[in-house]
Amino acid sequence: MKSGVLNLVLKRLAITVVTLLIVLFAVFFATSMLPGDTASILLGQAATPEAVAGLREAMHLNDPAILRFLRWLFGLLHGDLGTSYANEMPVAQLIGGRFVNTMELAGITTLLSVPLALTLGITAAMLRGSIYDRTVTILSIGIISVPEFMVATLAVLVFAVYLRWLPALSSVNEAHSLTDLVRIYAMPVITLTFVISAQMIRMTRAAVIETLSTPYVEMALLKGASRSRMVLKHALPNALGPIVNAVALSLSYLVGGVIIVETIFNYPGIAKLMVDAVATRDLPLIQSCAMIFCLGYLLLITAADIIAIISNPRLR
Amino acid sequence: MTMARAVASRRSFLGHSYNLVGVIASLIILAWTLIAIFAPYIIPHSIGDIVDDDYFGPMRQGLWLGSDYLGRDMLSRVLMGARYTVGISLAAVAISCFSGVVLGMIAAVTGGWLDTCLSRFLDAMNSIPSKLFGLVVVAAVGSSIPVLILTLAVIYIPGAYRFARALAVNINTMDFMTVARVRGESTIYLIGSEILPNIIRPVLADFGLRFVFIVLLLSGLSFLGLGLQPPLADWGALVRENIGGLPFAAPAVIVPSLAIASLTISVNLLIDNLPKKIRDRDA
Amino acid sequence: MTNLVEVRNLKIEATTDAGRVVEIIKGVSLDIADGEIIALIGESGSGKTTVALSLMGHARPGCRITGGEINVNGKNMAALSEKERAKLRGTDIAYVPQSAAASFNPSSTIMEQVIEVTRIHKLMPPEQARKRAVELFRALSLPDPEGIGARYPHQVSGGQLQRLSAAMALIGDPKLVIFDEPTTALDVTTQIDVLKAFKSVMRAGGIAGVYVSHDLAVVAQIADRIVVLKGGEVQETGTTAQILSAAQHPYTRELLAAFEPKRRQAQTEASTNQLLRIDNVTAGYGAVRDDGLPLIRAVDSVSLLVEKGRNLGVIGESGCGKSTLARVIAGIHPAAAGDIVFDGKDLQRAARNRSQDQLREMQIVFQYADTALNPAKPVEDIIARPLAFYHRLDRQARSKRVDELLDMVRLPRALRYRHPSELSGGQKQRVNFARALAANPKLIICDEITSALDTVVASAVIDLLKELQRELGLSYIFISHDLSVVEAICDEIMVMYNGERVEQITPDKVKAATHPYSKLLFSSVPKLDPTWLDGLVRDPELVSQYGHR
């Protein structure tokens, strides 16, 4: 029985590796579809054809795509992310500090939104049909139906424009005290928490409601179990797999959310870096940022699936 | 009794099938669709004309939704914006749902290596976050309307495929599929005549949801300046160009946001309030 | 109050998906004395489970108790608050569900769930509860009573789970236990063990019971009195002996009559025309081994012969390979080895390699008409498709033929415009059959086609099949777990066990079966005689060798 679980986990990891390769290739392929020649873009309009040809040679741009992909992949494995076209700094150096900033933002948001969403989702399922449930449901539909930037602009309108509690922009470097820190993170974190929790609440609620309609929960009712016992002892342990999945899927919305939120609040993270790189068509930087996001997303989904496998009682 | 019940539920499906929320939601969707079609004929001012001396002007007679950061008529710009937001999203969702559903049904009916390869590949595509995908493609090939439509469609094909395949796999296990197979029927007949009529309703609901996703993504990209390029402006781009009005809560920044919200929330509410029979028919 | 349970004029309403309110229980009254076991019997939709659950004050989602009194042990369950009812559930009244497999929480051990009642109601310390549970396991003759509680539900067989759920019900020392079709999902050889276990613990504890079932023979073994329900109303009540020997109500008589099927007129002139012969066919699942055979063999070197105009029955318990055999013959699940000869010609193993005529001449009809008919199509389209596909009939000819086929299966022509969801179970199965007839087949493989139907409906379908055979000169392969059905229609009966053919006999020789498994199987079929179970003596060695438990 134990080896069955191990097998499934290994199989799942293998799938992740295959997926990662496909994704990396897709990212690489998409960015090398650039119309116009990278070398001529780099050298500018005034470059001589000889200079362009020389640079093409030096950058191996004449090699077939698959070879360039393998070379890029090989570089990645050695921690070589390439050099930024825009300012000729190593990409790794550009990303370094900003990566930490983004992880901080994502981490704080996760710590806030997961407990909040699980509580709301589970309680809404327990009180299904009540006014509380309906309010939670309508609010979460409302939030998932609007773009992230709207949640962000609303947050700015309310907290910065009308209430004047918080500054509209973030600048991590200016944090001198705890209050500063709270003020800096507050707006991005509030926005992201709203965006992510809404999805998580809906999915958690649905997962719990589904297990609540199983025969073994009815059996518990006919044993005289209280409502909370039915939910906590019988429904929740069996809804664990779907709930973990919901959490992982919702956290993956962080990626989309972070792109908008960092731009809107001018937060110095990799998403902002990437949006700027898109504007300057800085390919190595775009590739690396995209890779980091995809990797993060894949790790989340894989972790969720593995937890679901381990928590499945039938595999014990 | 089973019969009586079935007949009764059918009658109510034809009669009072939608509740009030559903009716209001469908009216809003209908209104935006009509506006998208007829926008050029109903706008009071040309969208490029500067009609106000002030920028971020308030709502007043003649300029019902105020003016934008250059003093152009907001009402006209929002009405024309509907054209781009609704039009591009609709084209993209049609392409992605059609391709996804057809591929999904073929994969479910055929099975074997075709199913495995297709599923593995599309699942991999699905694990690229949508906004990121959009960013990368726009960085590579720019953002003309056809590119936007195609990119948005490609991003949501894996989801449509997954949804349709899951439904079709369920249908495929039914005995009537086995009966049709041993009768000697072709794949095209199996897909078109046996599976499709059974999944069409949930697929239409999924079409609506995916439309919402696409509207949101398009707006998000435009908001980042990576979607529709000036002088064209969809609702996301309208929010972006007028974001300077945020500190004074100018209608120019609020109205396009509300337009997006009214459309997406309506579609979501309509789907949530569809008769259960239509929404959950996955068996 | 003299009786433990007194139900007076019980009314329950249900809200349909469309929001319409229907009365599903229309004023039911019944009494149960202390220690008495009564049976609630009726077809699906008769309301028997609804009535039984109402004794616990419970109505399934969408249902509502709207009137009447449900006095159990002096308390009116209908009038109590949900909290007060919860206090009585598990202690005064306990429940044994239809599917124990679905009613055990998969993520918790069996022991935890068996003693949960004592935790909820704080009846005794957990240690004592565990001891009591082990005693009950022993009384219910479960194997390894000390260790079985530590397992998870999916690690235990269906028959054992069913007895474990009885232990779960009995741990709170209830005065009344409700059994909701507890043996319906079990094989006959397993059913006997479970029935015996139930009967002995109920007798020993003097506990009153309500036994919900559609099977008169099962009920006859365990119940003191029988209540016959139909359409949410009590049709007849009487002691078991009264009901069995002198039923008053026509519906009860119909139920009884369905139990004594008319044997088919034995084909006198043994025709020598072979229709189907299969030789040493093997098929299964899993990886293919070096010798070309699959790892798990569901059908193992089976040979059989069907002659024109004669019927072959294949009987066996779940997992014996009989359904796989049907699929192998039809080419749905291609055989790994062996030959299939149909109407004088060798058949390809896979259906897709067979010719259109070969496919047409052999039709298969499945158990669940619900999934065998496309719910999105009207009946006429379903029946007309083979006409267009095989016979290339034009629209007008098809329409005429659909009418004829509906006549043949005794369905009103107007039904052609309906969708399958608007038909009853028996009607659906007739449409299912009409579609097979539309192909003009020589052989129809019937895979458990009556198993999902109520007894009375099933026997009518069997009668129809016999009639059609007389008119059309068809042959049937009849696959079933139900001996009485096979006996009623088949000329030969083949017994399968563990993928192999163990014996082939004629229906009149069932009592004289020679193979030990056939003997065990045939002797396990419940009889209408109430003394049958108590008088049944089985060779324990046979049971341990062949019983799935």
Chain-chain contact of A294 with B129 (C-beta, under 8 angstroms): yes
Chain-chain contact of B272 with A279 (C-beta, under 8 angstroms): no
Note the pLDDT tens digit of each residue in B219-237: 988 988 888 887 788 898 8
Chain-chain contact of A147 with B219 (C-beta, under 8 angstroms): yes
Res B8 pLDDT > 50 = no
Is A295 part of any domain?
yes
Pick the CATH number of B19-272 from 2.60.40.1180, 1.10.3720.10, 1.20.58.760, 3.30.70.3340: 1.10.3720.10
pLDDT at residue B106, as a whole number: 93
pLDDT at residue B12, as a whole number: 42
A47-51, C225-229, C243-247, C376-380: segment of lowest average pLDDT: A47-51
pLDDT at residue C38, as a whole number: 92
Is A153 part of any domain?
yes
Q: Which domain holds residue A136?
A: 93-311
CA C438, CA C423: separation in Å to the nearest integer? 20
Instruction: Give yes or no for B112 touching C (CB within 8 A).
Output: no
CA nearest C181: which of B5, A215, A213, A220? Answer: A215
Domain count, chain A: 1
Note the pLDDT tens digit of each residue in B264-275: 989 988 887 776
Which CATH number characterizes residue A218's domain? 1.10.3720.10
- The phi, psi pair for B279, rounded to 5°, reads -70, -45
pLDDT at residue B7, as a whole number: 37
Is A8 part of any domain?
no
pLDDT at residue B226, as a whole number: 83
Note the pLDDT tens digit of each residue in C5-22: 888 999 998 887 667 788
Domain coordinates in residue numbering, chain C: 34-45+91-257, 274-512
pLDDT at residue B95, as a whole number: 95
CATH number of C34-45+91-257: 3.40.50.300
Chain-chain contact of B174 with C372 (C-beta, under 8 angstroms): yes
How many angstroms away from the CA of C507 is the closest CA of chain B? 30
pLDDT at residue C271, as a whole number: 60
Question: pLDDT-based confidence at A63, cuts 50/70/90?
Answer: low
- The phi, psi pair for C80, rounded to 5°, reads -75, 160
CA A189, CA A177: separation in Å to the nearest integer? 18
Query: Around Cβ C63, how many Cβ atoms within 10 Å?
Result: 18
pLDDT at residue C500, as a whole number: 86
C55-64, C211-220, C530-539: segment of lowest average pLDDT: C530-539
pLDDT at residue C163, as a whole number: 85
Q: Which of residues 183-202 of B touch C (CB under 8 A)?
A: 183-185, 194, 197-198
Closest Cα in chain A to B264: A145
CA A231, CA A128: separation in Å to the nearest integer? 12
Question: pLDDT-based confidence at B240, cuts 50/70/90?
Answer: confident
Res C41 pLDDT > 80 = yes
CA C450, CA C445: separation in Å to the nearest integer? 13
CA C132, CA C115: separation in Å to the nearest integer? 9
Mean pLDDT, chain A, whole residue set: 80
Q: Cβ contacts (< 8 Å) between A152 and chain B: which residues? A: none
Is A5 part of any domain?
no
Note the pLDDT tens digit of each residue in B152-206: 999 999 989 989 998 999 889 889 999 999 888 999 999 999 999 999 888 988 8
The most confident of the ranges A253-257, A259-263, C434-438, C456-460 is C434-438
pLDDT at residue B13, as a whole number: 41
CA nearest A100: which of A256, A268, A266? Answer: A268
3-class SS at C305?
A: strand
Question: pLDDT-based confidence at A201, cuts 50/70/90?
Answer: very high
Report the b/e string of C366-382 with b at 16+ CB within 10 A. bbbbbbbbbbbbbbbbb
Q: Which of C53, C60, C105 lies at the smallest CB-CB distance from A216?
A: C105
pLDDT at residue B282, as a whole number: 33
Per-residue pLDDT, averaged over B30-57, amounts to 81
How many angstroms away from the CA of C353 is the closest CA of chain B? 9
Is the Cα torsion angle B87, B91, B92, B93 positive or negative in sign?
positive
- Taking CA atoms, B42 is separated from B37, B45, B46, B106, B258, in Å, by 10, 9, 10, 45, 20
Chain-chain contact of C117 with A220 (C-beta, under 8 angstroms): no
Chain-chain contact of B7 with C422 (C-beta, under 8 angstroms): yes
Closest Cα in chain C to A226: C86
Say if residues B224 and B159 touch (Cβ distance below 8 Å).
no
Q: Which of A149, A266, A282 should be substituted to probe chain B, the one whose Cβ sees the most B Cβ atoms within 10 Å? A: A149
CA C423, CA C428: separation in Å to the nearest integer? 6
Is A122 part of any domain?
yes
Res A299 pLDDT > 90 = no
Closest Cα in chain B to A264: B224
Question: pLDDT-based confidence at C211, cuts 50/70/90?
Answer: very high
Question: pLDDT-based confidence at A252, cuts 50/70/90?
Answer: confident
Chain-chain contact of B176 with C422 (C-beta, under 8 angstroms): no
- The phi, psi pair for C340, rounded to 5°, reads -125, 120
Note the pLDDT tens digit of each residue in A260-273: 888 888 888 888 88
Per-residue pLDDT, averaged over B12-21, amounts to 54
CATH number of C274-512: 3.40.50.300
Helices (H), B111-184: 112-126, 130-141, 145-172, 175-183
* Pairwise pLDDT comparison (C434 vs B127), residue with the higher score: C434
Is A72 part of any domain?
no
Res B9 pLDDT > 80 = no
Question: pLDDT-based confidence at A259, cuts 50/70/90?
Answer: confident
How many angstroms away from the CA of B193 is the closest CA of chain A? 32
Q: Which of B130, B141, B216 lies at the smallest CB-CB distance from A33?
A: B141
Q: Which of B137, B139, B220 lies at the smallest CB-CB distance from A148?
A: B220
Q: Which of B5, B176, B194 lies at the smallest CB-CB distance from C372?
A: B176
Note the pLDDT tens digit of each residue in C397-413: 999 999 999 998 889 98
Res B96 pLDDT > 90 = yes
pLDDT at residue A39, as a whole number: 59
Mean pLDDT, chain C, whole residue set: 86
A31-40, A82-91, A237-246: segment of lowest average pLDDT: A31-40
Q: State the Rg of chain C over Cα.
A: 25
Say if residues C139 and C200 touch (Cβ distance below 8 Å).
yes
Residue with tokens 């899927």: A249
Res B3 pLDDT > 70 = no
Chain-chain contact of C45 with B12 (C-beta, under 8 angstroms): no
Q: Cβ contacts (< 8 Å) between C120 and chain A: which residues? A: 223-226, 229
Question: pLDDT-based confidence at B6, cuts 50/70/90?
Answer: very low
- Taking CA atoms, A172 is separated from A164, A165, A262, A287, in Å, by 19, 18, 12, 25
Per-residue pLDDT, averaged over C124-140, amounts to 90
Instruction: Give yes or no for B178 touching C (CB within 8 A).
Output: yes
All partners of chain C with 3 or more CB pairs under 8 angstroms: A, B
Question: pLDDT-based confidence at B4, cuts 50/70/90?
Answer: very low
All partners of chain A with 3 or more CB pairs under 8 angstroms: B, C
B15-19, B167-171, C374-378, C380-384: segment of lowest average pLDDT: B15-19
Domain coordinates in residue numbering, chain B: 19-272
The most confident of the ranges A152-156, B16-20, C223-227 is C223-227
Is A23 part of any domain?
no
What DSSP designation does B175 have? H
CA C57, CA C70: separation in Å to the nearest integer? 8
CA C443, CA B19: separation in Å to the nearest integer? 52
pLDDT at residue C242, as a whole number: 87
Count of CB pairs separated by less than 8 Å, A with C: 72
Report how far Cα A280 is from the mean position of its chain's Cα atoms.
24
pLDDT at residue B190, as a whole number: 92
CA nearest B252: which of B23, B71, B29, B41? Answer: B71
CA C23, CA C13: separation in Å to the nearest integer? 4
Per-residue pLDDT, averaged over A159-182, amounts to 64
pLDDT at residue A315, as a whole number: 65
Question: pLDDT-based confidence at B278, cuts 50/70/90?
Answer: very low
In this predicted complex, what is the ipTM? 0.80
Q: How buried is C174 (Cβ within 10 angstroms: 0-12 exposed, 13-18 middle, 19+ buried)?
A: buried
A155-164, B18-27, B186-195: segment of lowest average pLDDT: A155-164
Residues 6+ apart with CB under 8 A from B19: B273
